[in-house]
Structures are given as structure tokens and as C-alpha cells.
Amino acid sequence: MKARAVSPAKVILFGEHFVVGGNTAISMTIDFPTTVTVERESGERVSIESRDLHVKVAFSQQGEIVESVGSNAETALRPVFEAVRVSFEKLHLPCHGLSIMVESRVPIGMGLGSSAATAVGTVSAIGELFKRPFTQQEIFDAAYSLERMVHGHPSGVDQATITYGGLVCYRNGAVDSRLGHSSPPTLLIGNTGKRRSTGEFVGKVTRLRKEQPEEYAKIAFDAQKIAESAIEALRDGRNEDVGSLMNANQVLLEKVGVSSPELEKLIAAARSARALGAKLTGGGGGGCMIAIADKSKSKAVVEAIERAGGQVLPSAFVPYGVRASLEED
Ligand code: PMV
């Protein structure tokens, strides 16, 4: 018997970084799947393979490496083992006898939620395999606890978005339903190709929040106003306003030091091709930017992003989060 979970990727439309300090973020799921397949295996090992990264590691029940294939295999796959461990703990079962295959083309370290997609998918698939499907809240809690091990003070927005799916409004560990059934405008995603660590940039903003609390509070206040206005604009389908609010959000992200020349080049290119708005998405420092444009302008915006050296990624909105199913032999 096998269980399979398919997780979408995610982009943050508004409020990244400020969400860590308690602001609202708006995010959405996109059709860029990560598939996690889990199967019972005889013996003690937990074998994990990533098809796209060409790495494979077998762990003992205690998390020691029994076998490793490919470079940096442990760095890539230890987080998956931790997701397995947390899932077994929730099921009150001993952690062994499992084989896992991860398949994902989501670029790593680009702000599209690749690690959250793998964690959420692993937890969901294991619940399904043992015929004890986890609730969305349980999946979110498990994936969020894992993210806390990776970087000190994450907000949980990636894990919530990929678990619940759709257009998501997130604050302080909870999704609210204000954007429930709304559809977002068509997004264009431009990848700078520069990989970076979200933790490093979260640390930078956290330092600002601690060392210059008044300065930070002013910027965060403006960011919250932008997020609140964006909820209204998205609900009403006022794309021009959504675009202007994206531009205003980008100014604040630049102020807290998480933008980069590579991102700003793509953002400027999109705006010069008459995008309604453009900003970085996710951790910043590299990774991806997003733009929205009227239908008649989107081809020109895509070409402008590409001419500026960006790679335009698929970005179709999907109104659902992770989905798991059981395959009986
Ligand atoms: O994982 P990324 O790069 O999409 O960043 C997540 C969003 C941040 O607000 C930068 C961090 C967080 O924990 O919310």
C-alpha cells in the first residue's frame, strides 16, 4: 500500500517579513506541485529519496545515517526525516519501516515554499498511509513546528498557505476567512535565479525590530494598512489598486533591507512594460518577484522580465492546498 500527497507551491502577495512581527500577510497557492509518496518497508530504516535532486539517504530509527547517495544528501533530506519523525510521534507509532520519494521541480530557496511543500506533503501522506488522515490544523501544526527548527522565528505563513490553499489571509498562526472564495488577479512570477536563505533576511528584519523599535513600528504600521487595503481591493477585484498597493509594499521591503539589485532590475522592467504593480515575494535578497498586469500588457511584461535576465515561471492559481490519497495495490 502507498499513499501520495500533492502540495501546491505558494507566493506571498503582501506582508512578508512584517508577518513575522505579527502583521497580516496575504498569500496564495499556485499549480507547481511537489509530490511525496510513502510506502511501508520491512526493517528498521526510513529511506528517503529526492528524484529531482538525485540524492538518497537511509536513516535509522534514531536518525543516524545508515546509507547516503549524492552530494549534500543529508542537508537536503534531514528535514524530510524530521517531518517523518514528527508524524509518527503524532500517530504514537515507532518511527521506522518507511520509504519516501519526493518529486518536485519547485526551485529551492526562491521564495516559492519548496520546503513547506515537502514538509506538508510528507505529514499528509503519512497520516493517509496509516489510515489516520490528519486534520488541516494538525498538518499545519506539524509543519510549522518543523519550520521553527530550521529558522528561529518563522511566521508559519508558508505552511498555512500550502496546507489550506487558495487565497489566504494569515496572521499570528491563524488563517482568517476574509478572502475565502476570492480569486486573485493573474500573476507573473520572475525568478532572479539568485538563491538565498530566508533565515538570514528574517534575522536582518528581526535585528531592526529589536534595535530600532520605533522606526520598525512606523514601517510595520504602514505595511498593515497596505495589507488591509489589499484585502478590500482583492475582494472587489480592483486590480489597479492591488498593483499600486504592491508597489507601496515594495517600498517598505526596500526600507527594511530585504530587496536586492537583481530583484529591483526585474521589478523596474515589469513596471516599464506597464505592469499595474510589482514587488519581491517571500524572503527577498534574491529569489522571485511578482507582477500583475492587464491582459493586454502581460506578454510585454513577460518579455521585459526576460530581457532583464529573469526567468518567468508558471503561476496558475489553484484554490486548494495539499491533497493526499491512498493507493491500495
Ligand atoms: O520562505 P519564503 O522565502 O517565502 O519566506 C517566507 C516569508 C517570510 O515572511 C519572509 C518569513 C516568515 O516566516 O514569514
The number of residues in the chain equals: 329
pLDDT in the model for residue 253: 98
Could you identify the atom of ligand 1 that is nearest to the CA of residue 115?
1
Please state, in angstroms and as integers, the Cα–Cα distance from residue 165 to each residue in 28, 71, 110, 195, 211, following that order.
7, 33, 19, 25, 35
pLDDT digits (tens, 9 = 90+) for 27-59: 999 999 999 999 999 999 999 999 999 999 999
pLDDT in the model for residue 196: 86
Task: Work out the mean pLDDT of the chain and round it to a whole number.
Answer: 95
Helix (H, G, I), strand (E, B) or coil at 12: strand
pLDDT digits (tens, 9 = 90+) for 2-15: 999 999 999 999 99
Could you identify the atom of ligand 1 that is nearest to the CA of residue 18?
9
Q: How far apart are CA 252 and CA 237, in angstroms?
A: 24
Amino acid at 165: G
User: Beta 187-191 vs 311-313: how paired, if at all?
Assistant: antiparallel
Q: How far does residue 154's CA lie from ligand 1's centre (Å)?
A: 7
Q: What is the pTM of this model?
A: 0.96
Q: How far apart are CA 90 and CA 129, in angstroms?
A: 14
294 is catalytic: no
From the CB of residue 178, how many other CB atoms can be counted at a distance below 10 Å?
16
Q: How far does residue 201's CA lie from ligand 1's centre (Å)?
A: 9
264: its cell numbers: 529591483
Q: How far apart are CA 275 and CA 245, in angstroms?
A: 13
pLDDT in the model for residue 228: 97
- Going by alpha carbons, the residue nearest to atom 10 of ligand 1 is 283
pLDDT of 247 > 80? The answer is: yes
Could you identify the atom of ligand 1 that is nearest to the CA of residue 12?
4
- Going by alpha carbons, the residue nearest to atom 14 of ligand 1 is 155
Which residue from 163, 175, 79, 85 is spatially nearest to 121, judged by alpha carbons?
163
- Going by alpha carbons, the residue nearest to atom 13 of ligand 1 is 154
Q: How far apart are CA 221 and CA 92, in angstroms?
A: 44
DSSP string of 56-122, one letter each residue: EEEE-TTS-EEEEESTTHHHHHHHHHHHHHHHHHHHT--S-SEEEEEEE-SPTTSSS-HHHHHHHHH
Catalytic residue, chosen from 31, 141, 158, 294, is: 158
Residues above pLDDT 70, as percent of the chain: 99
123: its cell numbers: 505529514
Q: How far does residue 238's CA lie from ligand 1's centre (Å)?
A: 26
Q: How far does residue 128's CA lie from ligand 1's centre (Å)?
A: 28
pLDDT in the model for residue 72: 92
User: Residues lining ligand 1, CB < 6 A?
Assistant: 12, 16-17, 19-20, 111, 113, 154-155, 157-158, 198, 202, 282-283
pLDDT digits (tens, 9 = 90+) for 136-193: 999 999 999 998 887 678 999 999 999 999 999 999 999 998 887 788 898 999 999 9
DSSP string of 210-272, one letter each residue: HHSHHHHHHHHHHHHHHHHHHHHHHHHT-HHHHHHHHHHHHHHHHHTT---HHHHHHHHHHHH
